Amino acid sequence: MKRIVFIVIISCALGMPALAQEAGIKFNVNGGLGFDNDSSNPNALSDLEGLGLALETSYFNLVVGLSYHGDKQYSPSSSFELGHYFTVDTGLIRFSYQGLAFEGGRGPIVGDIDSPYSLFLSSKGNSSLYADLSYRIGNFSYTSKWVQLNYDSTLDFEATVPALPMIDRGMNYKEYTLNFGRLKLGYQDSSVYCNRNFDLESFLSPVPTYIQQLTLGTSDRPYSQQGNTNSLMGIFGEYNDGSLFAYSQFLLDDINGSFLGPVLGWLIPSLNEVHNLQKLAWSIGGTYGSPYGKFGFHHGGATKYTFEATYTSAAPYGGWSLGDTPNTPDYNILPYQYTYYPVSEYLDGTMTKTIRYTDNYIGFKYGENTLCFLLDYRNEILKESPASMEAYLSLEYVVSGSKSPNNPWHDYSDWTTIGKTFELLDEAVLEHDLILTAQAKKRIGNWDLFLGGKLGYRWNRLGLRVATDGGAKIWTPVLGDDGVLGSIGFYAKYSFGIPGSGASAKR
């Protein structure tokens, strides 16, 4: 409910009259008002307005969306903004032809699996600059996506003393899928790299990331590259027969053979000597469509330290130092975490503001050290009447332990001193959320109306604290910090279009 993407387009800006004649052009304006008492929101009562347009042809799409926010999350850039600020939520172009497609620009990074708990790309759809290259032939499809994390940042990296500027970081995601009609199976991998914002080989090469890392990251070769890459890999499956949709997904962060010891240790004795952390995430669930509506169940989880880095070097970042000691190895100053930004706080003028972890994780929105469960229901109510509308209802339970999007080993200096290979919710105090959500959507002519709200309770709210070694802050449950969660919002969108002769309605 926090943000709506507004879409608009102008064909004459392309300077291609012939294309404009056959293009479908859509315009819309949006507006809304919402209240949210979550303590992470700078302004509980806020308004949101937006504009957008979209040009659609058989082979080319162009989408632009702007928003005007009154939630105080960011400061205005000038007094003319009247206490609000602007964002470019969407600025995309897309080309497609016979199974080959390219999409690039700024827009939501959507979930890789149709699940509220997708693992590699968050279901929250946080916005960033990206490029997506995909190809489909027969029952095989391949996708390569690059996402800009931080580039030429004006912020400092808080985990160093004294603070040093944040270095450039980028991410690549790959997906290989086999489609057998109702059944779809696939392999996924992803990587975060430092000291550069874009890696051309990672984006263009269809070779799995782990193999690239083994070859390019090995030292003493003429083509070796500096810096480690934090890699993740996983598998997924989907089944869809029209009524039943079921999925499962598994993610392994940083490849290691610890979990194979009990199974293959007799064959490969060296596996019995591997005691790396078990950094795993999973998601499972589905929906069932019946005459009484669509019912859904979803579950997700991740062990502690998942999505964190596991590597250090003698000269991190080509000469960075910790304190007065040059080239000091330290796990807690390597921002390979699977996050958009390697910080949980930033300075906005003289005010310190917090980046909520669900807005920072690239993948699983609740991050490490979490279990979550969701029951939901969708249906069209009051059918065959002027008052008919789409309704959605859900009940979610989330339990979280300590987590840090930017401190790999929390209160430890490196993973070898943790003393355990598997941790999940083993703290004395945990955060518990129980949230009921209700939403309704109604189409009236060119108007789309939306009303939604949440009501719940949170026990032992996660709060930021400094790590015991003075490193970057950690989200930790605070005993007794309980409270009611409530939000409500109303939004309206008015849209109209100019159809073209031969336009393709592909949005």
pLDDT value of residue 217:
66
The C-alpha atoms of residue 50 and residue 68 are separated, in whole angstroms, by 6
With a cut of 90, say whether residue 336 has pLDDT above it: no
Residues in the chain: 507
pLDDT value of residue 42:
75
Encoding tokens for residue 405? 């999007």
The C-alpha atoms of residue 356 and residue 124 are separated, in whole angstroms, by 12
The C-alpha atoms of residue 1 and residue 12 are separated, in whole angstroms, by 33
pLDDT value of residue 226:
65
The C-alpha atoms of residue 334 and residue 342 are separated, in whole angstroms, by 9
DSSP string over 350-387? TEEEE--GGGTBSSSTT-SSEEEEEEEEEEEESTTSTT
pLDDT value of residue 308:
78
The C-alpha atoms of residue 323 and residue 313 are separated, in whole angstroms, by 16
496 Cα distance to chain centroid: 31
- Tally of CA atoms within 13 A in the half-sphere of 239 that contains its CB: 8
327 Cα distance to chain centroid: 33
pLDDT value of residue 309:
63
The C-alpha atoms of residue 231 and residue 174 are separated, in whole angstroms, by 11
- 3-class DSSP string for 482-502: CEEEEEEEEEEEEEEEECCCC
- Coil, strand, or helix at residue 263? helix
pLDDT of 354-397, one tens digit each? 889 999 999 999 999 999 999 999 999 988 888 899 999 999 99
Residue 77 and residue 87 in contact, taking contact as beta carbons nearer than 8 Å: no
Cα separations in angstroms, 263 against 248, 267, 268, 275, 303: 23, 9, 10, 14, 21
The C-alpha atoms of residue 228 and residue 276 are separated, in whole angstroms, by 17
- Coil, strand, or helix at residue 21? helix
DSSP string over 213-251? HHHHSSSSSTT--SS-EEEEEEEEEEEE-SSEEEEEEEE
112 Cα distance to chain centroid: 10
The C-alpha atoms of residue 43 and residue 2 are separated, in whole angstroms, by 12
- Residue whose C-alpha is closest to residue 229's, from 215, 250, 248, 249: 215
Cα separations in angstroms, 166 against 147, 307, 312, 347, 494: 17, 19, 17, 13, 41
- Tally of CA atoms within 13 A in the half-sphere of 152 that contains its CB: 1
pLDDT value of residue 506:
38
Q: Which residue has the higher pLDDT, 219 or 440?
A: 440
- Residue 10 sits at φ, ψ, to 5 deg, of -125, 115
pLDDT value of residue 448:
95
pLDDT of 260-287, one tens digit each? 667 777 777 766 666 678 889 999 999 9
- Residue whose C-alpha is closest to residue 112's, from 23, 188, 45, 179: 188
pLDDT value of residue 126:
92
Residue 171 and residue 149 in contact, taking contact as beta carbons nearer than 8 Å: yes
* Beta partners for residue 61, in sequence order: 94
In the predicted model, what is the mean pLDDT of the chain? 83
pLDDT value of residue 320:
45
Encoding tokens for residue 332? 């807690």
Average pLDDT, integer, range 425-450: 96
- Residue 312 sits at φ, ψ, to 5 deg, of -135, 165
The C-alpha atoms of residue 62 and residue 58 are separated, in whole angstroms, by 12
Q: Which residue has the higher pLDDT, 79 or 254?
A: 79
| 48 pLDDT tier (thresholds 50, 70, 90) | very high
pLDDT of 116-146, one tens digit each? 999 999 999 999 999 999 999 999 999 999 9
With a cut of 70, say whether residue 12 has pLDDT above it: no
| 507 pLDDT tier (thresholds 50, 70, 90) | very low
With a cut of 90, say whether residue 168 has pLDDT above it: no
- Residue 378 sits at φ, ψ, to 5 deg, of -130, 145
Average pLDDT, integer, range 56-78: 90
Share of the chain above pLDDT 90, in %: 55
- Coil, strand, or helix at residue 202? helix
- Residue whose C-alpha is closest to residue 445's, from 386, 382, 390, 392: 386
- Residue whose C-alpha is closest to residue 174's, from 101, 234, 107: 234
pLDDT value of residue 11:
30
Which stretch of 59-68, 225-234, 447-456 has the lowest confidence by average pLDDT?
Answer: 225-234
Average pLDDT, integer, range 175-192: 95
pLDDT of 407-419, one tens digit each? 788 888 777 778 7
